[in-house]
Amino acid sequence: MKALLSLTALAALAAETVSAHYIFQQLSVAGTRYPVWKYIRRNSNPAWLQNGPVTDLSSTDLRCNVGGQVSNGTETVTVRAGDQFTFHLDTAVYHQGPTSLYMSRAPGKVEDYDGSGPWFKIYDWGPSGNSWAMRDSYTYNIPRCIPDGEYLLRIQQLGLHNPGAEPQFYISCAQVKVTNGGTTNPTPTANIPGAFRKTDPGYTVNIYNTNLANYVVPGPRVMTGLVEREVPAHLTLSDQARSYMTDKAGLVRAASKFMGPVVFIWHRVFKFTSWIN
Ligand SMILES: [Cu+2]
């Protein structure tokens, strides 16, 4: 019986391992979509494992995927602070869980940077009711306030679909050079590994029997000081409201419920007026 059980477990593991998962493999910046793996560090997994997850919470592979500590010839794209960017996947995300965006400033050239410095978070797509933002692309903006310099721009989707098994981290890092930035050194920050712990409620949660209204996405809080203009116009109203809610600047937070719809309408009016001009 025991042998049969482990055989079943092994078969399940094999099925999970060889089945295609998904990976963030393509970057757009300010409306230009670049070829697959251009400006994104490609993991060193064999082809059949290319879109597999990282699960070891103590591994440096959590930074930029397996082998992602080195640039391995990846080029760096110049972006303006405030620019919109998109990470595209090979296959739409299909494991429930949150998606987050992080950045970490390289001390020098990002092509020489291993991601061992502090990371700050710029956005979370958390649950909405019981549903998750499971998409084939995720779009946000480079914060306007961060200093010029070269950064790793990291996206992470955490697969929580299999309670009891290890949650799965789907990760990619792009190399960006930020220009036209500001003077804010974002806080809070965390190191990777270290930012995600086995005890985090957002990591241990059984998503199928929990009220997700108070779900907290693992990792540091979204950086303070993000302002309205960084909320992409095409996001849904609830996405916009949530992005205000994650900003701990008290004033913005207090005004969020009222300002969300106002900004949403403002965007629409603005789009319309730019269209008729
Ligand atoms: Cu999978």
Ligand 1 centroid from CA 12, angstroms: 12
Using the 3D structure, point to which of 181, 198, 225 is the last residue of a domain: 225
* Closest to 142 (Cα-Cα) out of 254, 230, 72: 230
| Residues 177 and 56 placed together within one structural domain of the fold | yes
Ligand 1 centroid from CA 169, angstroms: 10
Ligand 1 centroid from CA 147, angstroms: 36
| Residues 192 and 259 placed together within one structural domain of the fold | no
98 belongs to a structural domain? yes
Ligand 1 centroid from CA 59, angstroms: 19
Name beta bridge partners: 128.
131
| Residues 148 and 173 placed together within one structural domain of the fold | yes
Q: What is the CATH number of the domain that holds 31?
A: 2.70.50.70
Using the 3D structure, point to which of 184, 206, 225 is the last residue of a domain: 225
| Residues 101 and 179 placed together within one structural domain of the fold | yes
With the C-alpha atoms ordered 248, 235, 276, 143, is the resulting torsion angle positive or negative? Answer: positive
pLDDT in tens, 163-211: 999 999 999 999 999 999 999 999 999 999 999 999 999 999 999 999 9
Which three-class secondary structure state does DSSP give residue 55? coil
- The C-alpha atoms of residue 7 and residue 277 are separated, in whole angstroms, by 67
Q: Is the pLDDT of residue 267 over 70?
A: no
Residues counted in the chain: 277
Ligand 1 centroid from CA 52, angstroms: 7
Ligand 1 centroid from CA 227, angstroms: 35
3 belongs to a structural domain? no
| Residues 210 and 260 placed together within one structural domain of the fold | no
In the structure encoding, which two tokens stand for residue 59, read together? 């591994």
| Residues 212 and 235 placed together within one structural domain of the fold | no
Using the 3D structure, point to which of 204, 225, 246 is the last residue of a domain: 225
In the structure encoding, which two tokens stand for residue 12, read together? 């399940």
| Exposed/middle/buried for residue 229 (C-beta within 10 Å: 0-12, 13-18, 19+) | exposed
Ligand 1 centroid from CA 17, angstroms: 8
Q: What is the mean pLDDT of residues 238-247?
A: 45
- Predicted pLDDT at 96: 98
What is the distance of C-alpha 195 from the center of its chain? Answer: 14
**Cβ contact 104:152 at 8 Å:** yes
Enclosing H/E stretch for 239: helix 237-245
pLDDT in tens, 126-138: 999 999 999 999 9
Report which residue type is found at 263. V
Residue 269 is part of which domain span?
227-277
* Ion ligand 1, residues whose Cβ is below 5 A away: 21
- Exposure b/e, 169-190, CB count within 10 A at least 16 = b: bbbbbbbbebeebeeeebeebb
| Residues 44 and 177 placed together within one structural domain of the fold | yes
| Residues 50 and 160 placed together within one structural domain of the fold | yes
250 belongs to a structural domain? yes
| Residues 176 and 187 placed together within one structural domain of the fold | yes
Ligand 1 centroid from CA 170, angstroms: 9
271 belongs to a structural domain? yes
Ligand 1 centroid from CA 164, angstroms: 15
Q: Is the pLDDT of residue 63 over 60?
A: yes
The residue assigned the tokens 């094999």 is 14
8 belongs to a structural domain? no
- Predicted pLDDT at 231: 52
| Residues 263 and 242 placed together within one structural domain of the fold | yes
Enclosing H/E stretch for 86: strand 84-89
How many angstroms separate the Cα of 75 from the Cα of each of 30, 273, 276?
Answer: 17, 38, 39
Ligand 1 centroid from CA 95, angstroms: 7
What is the chain's percent helix, strand, coil content, to nearest 5?
25, 25, 50
Other beta carbons within 10 Å of 25: 20
What secondary structure letter does DSSP report for 128? B
In the structure encoding, which two tokens stand for residue 113, read together? 């940077």
Ligand 1 centroid from CA 250, angstroms: 38
Name beta bridge partners: 123.
101
- Predicted pLDDT at 2: 43
- Predicted pLDDT at 8: 44
Ligand 1 centroid from CA 20, angstroms: 7
- Predicted pLDDT at 227: 63
pLDDT in tens, 2-42: 444 444 444 444 445 556 799 999 999 999 999 999 999 99
| Residues 241 and 187 placed together within one structural domain of the fold | no
Domains held by the chain: number: 2
Number of H helices, E strands in the chain: 5, 9
277 belongs to a structural domain? yes
| Residues 260 and 183 placed together within one structural domain of the fold | no
9 belongs to a structural domain? no
* Angle in degrees, 0-180, between the axes of helices 250-276 and 237-245, rounded to the nearest 10: 150
Ligand 1 centroid from CA 51, angstroms: 8
In the structure encoding, which two tokens stand for residue 222, read together? 């979204």
232 belongs to a structural domain? yes
Ligand 1 centroid from CA 163, angstroms: 13
Ligand 1 centroid from CA 173, angstroms: 19
- The C-alpha atoms of residue 8 and residue 193 are separated, in whole angstroms, by 32
